[in-house]
Amino acid sequence: MAPSHIHVPTNCRTVTEILSRVGDKWSIQVVVQLGDGPKRFNELRRIVDGISQRMLTLTLRGLERDGLVHRTVYPTIPPRVEYRLTEMGCSLLKIVRALGEWVICNRDMILEARRRFDAAEGAVQSPPAYRSDTA
């Protein structure tokens, strides 16, 4: 497979930086949840299993900074804050969903490949570790 573009180191750094933001565990889960419509902070915290309040705050701020999530503060007492995907966030959601579908379609083959790999690795025994207390 031939590369479709010329390798430019600055592009690689940019791609790596942005993929690390949108590809982390929490960002993907938040984007998927916001794909169902706007959510309030505590609602997101309840439905994103295992995320702490601090991590959700950092994740939402990062997604907002990158233009993927829009934060709306309503002038009520107490203030009501909602988060929703931006147009760019919706385009990311399409890619995340496609990747999820790819995983589901290929899951059995991946598990089988892992099983074969692990079985082959188990057949190759590494030499025993050197122990200084036996000398």
Domains held by the chain: number: 1
Q: What is the distance, to the nearest Å, from the Cα of residue 6 to the centroid of all Cα atoms in its chain?
A: 27
pLDDT at 115 (0 to 100): 94
CATH of the domain at 116: 1.10.10.10
User: How many Cβ atoms are within 10 Å of 31's Cβ, its own excluded?
Assistant: 22
113 belongs to a structural domain: yes
135 belongs to a structural domain: no
Amino acid identity at 6: I
Contact 24, 60 (CB under 8 A): no
Quick: pLDDT tens for 6-59.
666 777 888 888 888 888 889 999 999 999 999 999 999 999 999 999 999 999
Domain boundaries, position 53? 9-121
134 belongs to a structural domain: no
- Rounded to an integer, what distance in angstroms lies between the CA atom of residue 30 and that of residue 23? 11
Give the pTM. Answer: 0.76
Cis peptide leading into residue 78 (ω within 30°) = yes
Quick: pLDDT tens for 89-121.
999 999 999 999 999 999 999 999 999 999 988
- Kindly compute the dihedral angle of the four CA atoms of residues 70, 74, 78, 82, in this order, to the nearest 10 degrees: -30
Quick: pLDDT tens for 82-96.
999 999 999 999 999
